[in-house]
Amino acid sequence: MTERLRIATRKSPLALWQAEHVAERLRAAHPGLEVELVGLSTQGDRILDAPLAKVGGKGLFVKELELAMIDGRADIAVHSMKDVPVDFPDGLCLPVILEREDPHDAFVSTRYAHPSELPPGARVGTSSLRRQCQLAARYPHLLIGSLRGNVNSRLAKLDSGEFDAVILAAAGLKRLGFAARIRCVLSPEESLPAIGQGAIGIECRSGDTRVRALIDVLDDAATHTRLRAERALNTRLQGGCQVPIGGHAILDGDALWLRGLVGEPDGSRVICGERRGAASEAEALGVQLAEELLARGADAILARVFGNRN
Ligand SMILES: NCc1[nH]cc(CCC(=O)O)c1CC(=O)O
């Protein structure tokens, strides 16, 4: 009997690229396996006219895909780890994380090669409070505006002249063939990436041993360790995509280096910290760093940001 696997995916070009990438890797690992995509539209895709922070609700992009797995319409879901909330619904788990693509933020502009070249009053588009916070802290003379939609439509808003520059994840641009549009990749010192940025994860039903046997081969241990630290930081901070939180871990052999950031959306305050330890301590490093940031004032910032949400 032919083995089949159905992948639930959003229908944005980036989501489809990522799901197709996983499908190809699975076909290569298991010759004869039939892999099929099940395209779904999610709440996050439908609400395009408000900044994400205002729309609120964790997992805007994820819930619909999870329902499909619970209903048995699909076997796995492929996610950008950046969009996956820290807690999972009962009956689902996320056991596989693929090797990370470039995790950094990218600066895209026609006229300017780096954010430092932008003149006072230049308009920069970003949908993320994290990017906005770090940009405003360093360059208070910029006008930062909200930029929603998928990667393709965000680039179109730059090209139409609505913005002088936009900041997007390097990973999404590279995957969709827009690497040449990147004027510079921002270092973690300039813009600490989002927790999970650049990594793709695979979610499935807990205890589905047939599916686990097929997908486990795609797991990348080093990326998985880095994300354990980053996601532990996020769990302790109770963060979502609607708060200005950054977190990025680097693994060198067994040495794990985790950096974290919580800031005011307008950049008036940025609290940064870091922890170093062994790979086996990934979660503990995340929790400890979160507690340090909370004690240094992140608690008040997060309470205010959450309080402002509708
Ligand atoms: N929030 C949307 C989203 N989710 C994941 C990526 C990029 C790909 C990745 O991080 O793996 C993007 C686009 C962006 O932030 O520019």
Confirm or reject: Cβ of 97 under 6 Å from ligand 1.
no
Confirm or reject: Cβ of 281 under 6 Å from ligand 1.
no
Does the residue 194 lie in any domain? no
Both 9 and 90 in one domain: the answer is yes
Residues in Cβ contact with 86 at an 8 Å cutoff, skipping those fewer than 6 apart: 231, 234, 235, 239
Both 181 and 205 in one domain: the answer is no
Share of the chain above pLDDT 70, in %: 91
Res 233 pLDDT > 60: yes
Instruction: State the pLDDT confidence band at 272, using cuts at 50, 70 and 90.
Output: very high
Segment holding 278, helix H or strand E: strand 270-278
User: Residue 1 Cα, ligand 1 centroid: separation in angstroms?
Assistant: 38
Both 229 and 270 in one domain: the answer is yes
Cβ distance 241 to 126 under 8 Å?
Answer: no
82 vs 243, more confident? 82
Residues in Cβ contact with 161 at an 8 Å cutoff, skipping those fewer than 6 apart: none
Which protein residue's CA is at the shortest distance from atom 15 of ligand 1?
169
pLDDT of res. 71: 94
Confirm or reject: Cβ of 168 under 6 Å from ligand 1.
yes
Both 16 and 84 in one domain: the answer is yes
Res 281 pLDDT > 90: yes
Query: How confident is the model over 42-65, as a mean pLDDT?
Result: 63
Which protein residue's CA is at the shortest distance from atom 6 of ligand 1?
172
Which residue type occupies 68?
A: A
Share of the chain above pLDDT 90, in %: 83
Q: Provide φ and ψ at 292, rounded to 5°.
A: -65, -45
Confirm or reject: Cβ of 286 under 6 Å from ligand 1.
no
Distance in angstroms (rounded) separating the CA atoms of residues 114 and 306: 32
User: Residue 171 Cα, ligand 1 centroid: separation in angstroms?
Assistant: 7
Model ipTM value: 0.96
* 3 state DSSP class of 188: coil
Distance in angstroms (rounded) separating the CA atoms of residues 199 and 185: 17
The mean pLDDT of the chain is 92
pLDDT of res. 287: 98
The best mutation among 17, 61, 80, 107 to test binding of ligand 1, ranked by most ligand atoms within 8 Å of the C-beta, falls on 80
Helices 221-237, 282-293: axis angle to 10 degrees equals 30
Instruction: State the pLDDT confidence band at 56, using cuts at 50, 70 and 90.
Output: very low
Strand partners, 36: 6
Domain count, the chain: 3
**Atom of ligand 1 minimally distant from the CA of 241:** 1
User: Residue 71 Cα, ligand 1 centroid: separation in angstroms?
Assistant: 27
Query: How confident is the model over 228-232, as a mean pLDDT?
Result: 98
Distance in angstroms (rounded) separating the CA atoms of residues 221 and 260: 21
Both 207 and 167 in one domain: the answer is no
pLDDT of res. 310: 37
User: Residue 240 Cα, ligand 1 centroid: separation in angstroms?
Assistant: 14
pLDDT of res. 55: 45
pLDDT of res. 241: 53
Q: CATH number for the domain including 10?
A: 3.40.190.10
Instruction: State the pLDDT confidence band at 232, using cuts at 50, 70 and 90.
Output: very high
Structure tokens at 297: 């004032």
Both 209 and 93 in one domain: the answer is yes
pLDDT of res. 93: 96
Q: Provide φ and ψ at 173, rounded to 5°.
A: -65, -45
What is the separation of C-alpha 239 from the centre of its chain, rounded to a whole number of angstroms?
A: 12
Span 146-169, pLDDT tens digits: 998 889 999 999 999 999 999 999
Both 66 and 211 in one domain: the answer is yes
The best mutation among 11, 14, 48, 192 to test binding of ligand 1, ranked by most ligand atoms within 8 Å of the C-beta, falls on 14
**Atom of ligand 1 minimally distant from the CA of 197:** 10
Structure tokens at 173: 């641009």
Both 66 and 208 in one domain: the answer is yes
Confirm or reject: Cβ of 172 under 6 Å from ligand 1.
yes
Full domain range(s) for residue 182:
105-186
Distance in angstroms (rounded) separating the CA atoms of residues 194 and 81: 10
What is the separation of C-alpha 158 from the centre of its chain, rounded to a whole number of angstroms?
A: 21
Q: CATH number for the domain including 232?
A: 3.30.160.40
Does the residue 116 lie in any domain? yes
Query: How confident is the model over 8-29, as a mean pLDDT?
Result: 96
pLDDT of res. 62: 84
- Nearest CA to 22 out of 271, 193, 14, 164 is that of 14
Q: Give the E-state strand segments of 146-199 in sequence order.
A: 165-169, 184-186
pLDDT of res. 48: 55
pLDDT of res. 61: 75
Query: How confident is the model over 223-228, as a mean pLDDT?
Result: 98
Residues in Cβ contact with 283 at an 8 Å cutoff, skipping those fewer than 6 apart: 228, 229, 232
User: Residue 3 Cα, ligand 1 centroid: separation in angstroms?
Assistant: 31
Instruction: List, by residue number, the catalytic residues.
Output: 83
* DSSP assignments along 125-157, one per residue: E-S-HHHHHHHHHH-TTSEEE---S-HHHHHHH
pLDDT of res. 57: 53
Does the residue 293 lie in any domain? yes
